[in-house]
Amino acid sequence: MNLPNKLTLLRIILIPVFMVVLYWGFPYANYVALAIFIIASLTDMLDGKIARKYNLVTDFGKFADPLADKMLVTAAMLWFVENHQMAAWMLLIVICREFAVSGLRMIASDKGRVIAAGWSGKVKTASTMVCIVLMFLPIPAVLNTVCCWVITLTTLYSGVEYFVKNKDVIATA
């Protein structure tokens, strides 16, 4: 197994550790969980750079890397929903967007076409990660609400953009 795949696997292993730390409830658990989240997020950035730079892209990486990202973000947002920091419908929008875009990519792949991450998808990912980090900190409730809306609106926008830019994929499905 190459280094990028090991980093992806590490990220997947860190997800249940992240959740156990949060549910353990010891003092400063949020900060420990935040550190785990940041480390896991950095492994995502690092494994992608290494894989592209050294041409170490594998089928495992193509499958597991985006899955690990979605699992990590969903785990954090589930925690926020449970702690009344985020509305469940907002998380549902995030999850539905991920399923829909993944489905669109599968249809495109069957037609020999690759749908790369667009600008709005990158903005969505970056803003979501920043907002999740902020939401683990003791921020004012209004800033927490702003973060939830930023996550929701960038998610909606990027999801709509994927479908608008690739409507021909669905039209011929």
- Which residues span the domain enclosing 63? 1-83
pLDDT at 104: 94
CA–CA gap between residue 10 and residue 125 (Å, rounded): 20
pLDDT at 117: 80
**Rounded average pLDDT over 21-36:** 94
CATH classification at residue 63: 1.20.120.1760
50 and 110 together in one domain? no
pLDDT at 173: 65
pLDDT at 88: 98
Chain segment 114-136, per-residue pLDDT in tens: 888 889 998 999 999 999 999 99
78 and 98 together in one domain? no
CA–CA gap between residue 80 and residue 93 (Å, rounded): 15
Label residue 151 by pLDDT band (50, 70, 90). Answer: very high
Q: What is the mean pLDDT of the chain?
A: 94
Chain segment 63-118, per-residue pLDDT in tens: 898 899 999 999 999 999 999 999 999 999 999 999 999 999 999 989 889 888 88
100: left (phi over 0), alpha (psi -120 to 50) or beta: alpha
H or E element in which residue 65 lies: helix 59-82
Helix (H, G, I), strand (E, B) or coil at 83: coil
26 and 71 together in one domain? yes
105 and 167 together in one domain? yes
59 and 119 together in one domain? no
Is the pLDDT assigned to residue 19 strictly greater than 80? yes
Is the pLDDT assigned to residue 137 strictly greater than 70? yes
